Amino acid sequence: MSDNTSIFVRYNMERALFEVAHLEWDEHLEESNWDNAESFGLQSKAMRYAVESYVLLKETGVTPEYGITPMYDPRNLVPSEQTRLDTWTGDL
């Protein structure tokens, strides 16, 4: 049995964290729905959590209809002017 949900993974630029949440397709753009999202500092940990969540939901018979949906471009998480992965002030 599937439903109108997905496990969404997004990158929060303000917090510099990846967030994972199981939401209905039409609710993923509402910021309030992300209040209880799981947060991770690394993309790999966020994706691992998303896959583990998917497997758990599949085993319980409620497989997310849209699977895992990344909402970010992994090749462009930071502004192109930033050359290091430390705190960026906007100054070069």
The tens digit of pLDDT for each residue in 9-53 reads: 999 888 889 999 999 999 988 999 999 999 999 999 999 999 999
Return d(Cα 54, Cα 85) in angstroms, integer. Answer: 30
Whether residue 6 is contained in a domain is answered as yes
Whether residue 78 is contained in a domain is answered as no
Q: In what order do the strands lie in the sheet with 68-70?
A: 38-40, 17-24, 5-12, 68-70
Whether residue 54 is contained in a domain is answered as yes
Return d(Cα 60, Cα 62) in angstroms, integer. Answer: 6
* Domain enclosing residue 14, as ranges: 2-70
Whether residue 63 is contained in a domain is answered as yes
Res 66: pLDDT: 93
Whether residue 30 is contained in a domain is answered as yes
Strand partners, 61: none
pLDDT at 76 over 80: no
Percentage of the residues of the chain whose pLDDT score is greater than 70: 82
What's the pTM value of the predicted model, to 2 decimals?
Answer: 0.79
pLDDT averaged over every residue in the chain:
84
